[in-house]
């Protein structure tokens, strides 16, 4: 009887539970189907990045090292007066080319001409006195030989002759000085070159010597110096190649070229004239001076000069296009493409530019293939679709790759 009641009470509950489970299962199935229908189609795989590549080439080249310098005159003179006096005239145009010996200034010569006349008179008087003392000394010699005069009187007349001779020499020296000073009233150019402006004009009194005012200055024009500071590595490069010490042939035999700020390239060829005997420990540089002809007169002291110092001999070098070089903070790199078209990062050490191509001292070898266009889009470790061109050829920029954005169900 007890068993019968228990069975009747559980039956309705089990039926209700089964109904609830059926409803939950149906709802889960519906939402699963709906989610599957709304899910986006899988994205298409990205294609290989198209890039332009070229092979690293090798050539025998003369490497050039560029420096900045200044032009300096070979000779420079500050013109000053050697005598004191008033300037009568200025006889040059500022900025003109003057020849050595040309008259620049005239100082009033009259006081100096009068001094010459006085000195000439003194010489004449000295000559007359000397003639008298010579005659008296000869007479004294005859009398002394005849024992007609004493030894003392004979000695006095001989001394008088010698004194007159010395006086004549002094008068002649004074005359020479007076003539020199008269000549100094005509101030001439001590060198051939370009003269500056007149610092003192006519009518002014000038003093003599270094304490006096500078009248003008002259600088030589041809040849002309170009001075620059060579870094320690460059100096050692030339010194190691020749096994030399500073100041001996080595860097002095290297070719050097010059260009002005408004000139294209380095059209002027010169030679190294001197190298300093020590490096400056503060800057790590050594002073180098080159000399250039200046027949056209365009080179003026003080101008900025662009200088290129070349190697003495040609050397084999790996060359690449500058477009292939990327910058990673302070490092330079290229992207090398292997036989599987996979990109590899390669740090490089660069040299100067020669005929539009960059010298690579370390990092790549001739014959290796590198990316020259598309460096910013290619990624190390990925595959690319390379198009090969000749190194240094001008090619258009690689177009950007468009991702496939189509969605399943679009028409």
If asked whether residues 131 and 176 sit together in one domain, one would say yes
Closest residue by Cα to residue 194 from 222, 220, 225, 215: 220
Strand order through the sheet with 85-90: 186-188, 103-107, 85-90, 205-206
Residue 15 shares a structural domain with residue 110: no
Same domain for 330 and 295 = no
Q: Note whether residue 68 is domain-resident.
A: no
| Domain's final residue, options 281, 298, 314 | 314
Are 246 and 212 in the same domain?
A: no
Domain assignment present for residue 253? The answer is yes
Cβ atoms 332, 320 nearer than 8 A = no
Cβ–Cβ under 8 Å, residues 292 and 72: no
DSSP state of 381: T
Q: Is residue 136 included in any domain, yes or no?
A: yes
CA proximity to 272, closest of 319, 227, 320, 231: 227
Question: Do 330 and 254 share a domain, yes or no?
Answer: no
Short-list 395, 393, 374, 394, CA closest to 383: 374
Are the beta carbons of 204 and 78 closer than 8 angstroms? no
Report phi then psi at 108, rounded to 5: -50, 115
In this structure, is the dihedral angle defined by the CA atoms of residues 372, 376, 379 and 384, taken in order, positive or negative?
negative
Beta carbons within 8 Å of 146's beta carbon, 6+ residues apart: none
Nearest-Å Rg of the Cα atoms of the chain is 49
**Same domain for 376 and 308:** no
Same domain, 168 and 202: yes
| Inside any domain, residue 405 | no
Residue 238 sits in a domain whose CATH number is 2.40.30.170
346 domain residue, yes or no: yes
Q: Is residue 150 part of a domain?
A: yes
The conformation of residue 256, written as its DSSP 8-state character, comes to: E
Domain encompassing residue 330 = 50-60+316-388
Q: Is residue 211 part of a domain?
A: yes
CB-based contact 363:349 (threshold 8 Å): yes
User: How many Cβ atoms are within 10 Å of 185's Cβ, its own excluded?
Assistant: 21
pLDDT tens for the chain, 411 residues: list them.
444 444 445 555 655 656 656 665 655 555 554 555 555 544 455 678 899 999 999 999 888 888 999 999 999 999 999 999 999 999 999 999 999 999 999 999 999 999 999 999 999 999 999 999 999 999 988 888 888 888 998 899 999 999 999 999 999 999 999 999 999 999 999 999 999 999 999 999 999 988 899 999 999 999 999 999 998 888 887 776 544 444 444 677 788 999 999 998 899 999 999 888 889 999 999 999 999 999 888 999 999 999 999 887 788 999 999 999 999 888 999 999 999 999 999 999 998 888 889 999 899 999 999 999 988 888 898 989 999 999 877 655 444 444 333 333 343
Burial class (CB in 10 A: 0-12, 13-18, 19+), 348: buried
> Where does a domain end: 219, 237, 261?
219
Residue 237 placed within a domain: yes
Is there a single domain that holds both residue 254 and residue 239? yes
Query: Are both 198 and 257 inside the same structural domain?
Result: no
Other C-beta atoms closer than 10 Å to the C-beta of 258 total 22
Residue with tokens 């899988």: 42
Tell me: do 131 and 192 sit in the same domain: yes
Count of the separate structural domains present in the chain: 4
228 and 348 fall within a common domain: no
Which of 268, 286, 314 terminates a domain? The answer is 314
Whole-prediction pTM: 0.65
Say if CB 55 and CB 291 are below 8 A apart. Answer: no
- Asked whether residue 188 falls in the same domain as residue 205, the answer is yes
Report residue 120: phi and psi, to 5°. Answer: -65, -40
- Do 171 and 123 contact (CB within 8 A), yes or no? yes
Q: Is there a contact between 303 and 70 (Cβ–Cβ < 8 Å)? A: yes
Instruction: Specify whether the CB–CB gap between 129 and 164 falls below 8 A.
Output: yes
Q: How far apart are CA 94 and CA 194, in angstroms?
A: 9
Spatial separation of the C-alpha atoms in residues 242 and 307, rounded to whole Å: 22
């Amino acid at each position: 009887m007890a068993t019968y009641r228990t069975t009747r009470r559980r039956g309705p509950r089990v039926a209700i539970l089964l109904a609830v489970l059926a409803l939950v299962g149906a709802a889960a199935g519906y939402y699963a189907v709906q989610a599957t229908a709304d899910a986006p189609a899988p994205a298409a795989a990205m294609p290989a990045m198209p890039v332009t590549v070229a092979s690293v080439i090798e050539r025998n080249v003369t490497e050039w090292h560029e420096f900045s310098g200044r032009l300096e005159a070979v000779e420079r003179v500050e013109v000053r007066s050697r005598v004191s006096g008033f300037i009568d005239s200025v006889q040059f145009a500022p900025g003109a080319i003057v020849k050595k010996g040309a008259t620049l200034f005239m100082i009033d010569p009259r006081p100096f001409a009068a001094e010459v006349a006085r000195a000439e008179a003194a010489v004449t008087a000295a000559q007359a006195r000397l003639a008298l003392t010579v005659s008296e000394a000869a007479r004294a010699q005859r009398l002394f030989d005849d024992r007609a005069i004493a030894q003392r009187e004979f000695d006095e007349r001989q001394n008088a002759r010698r004194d007159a001779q010395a006086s004549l020499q002094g008068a002649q020296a004074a005359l020479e000085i007076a003539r020199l000073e008269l000549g100094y009233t005509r101030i001439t150019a001590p060198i051939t070159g370009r003269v500056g402006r007149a610092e003192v004009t006519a009518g002014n009194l000038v003093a003599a010597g270094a304490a006096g005012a500078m009248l003008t200055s002259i600088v030589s024009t041809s040849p002309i110096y170009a001075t620059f500071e060579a870094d320690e590595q460059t100096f050692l490069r030339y010194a190691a190649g020749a096994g030399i010490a500073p100041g001996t042939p080595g860097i002095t035999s290297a070719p050097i070229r010059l260009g002005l700020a408004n000139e294209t390239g380095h059209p002027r060829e010169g030679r190294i004239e001197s190298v300093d005997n020590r490096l400056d420990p503060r800057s790590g540089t050594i002073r180098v001076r080159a000399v250039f002809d200046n027949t056209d007169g365009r080179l003026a002291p003080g101008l900025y000069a662009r200088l290129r110092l070349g190697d003495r001999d040609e050397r084999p070098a790996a060359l690449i296009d500058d477009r292939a070089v990327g910058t990673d903070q302070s490092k330079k790199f290229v992207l090398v493409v292997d036989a599987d078209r996979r990109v590899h990062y390669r740090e490089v050490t660069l040299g100067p530019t020669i005929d539009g191509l960059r010298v690579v001292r370390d990092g790549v070898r001739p014959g290796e293939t590198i990316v020259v266009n598309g460096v910013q889009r290619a990624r190390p470790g990925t595959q690319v679709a390379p198009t090969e061109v000749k190194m240094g050829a001008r090619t258009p920029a690689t177009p950007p790759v468009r991702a496939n954005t189509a969605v399943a169900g679009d028409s």
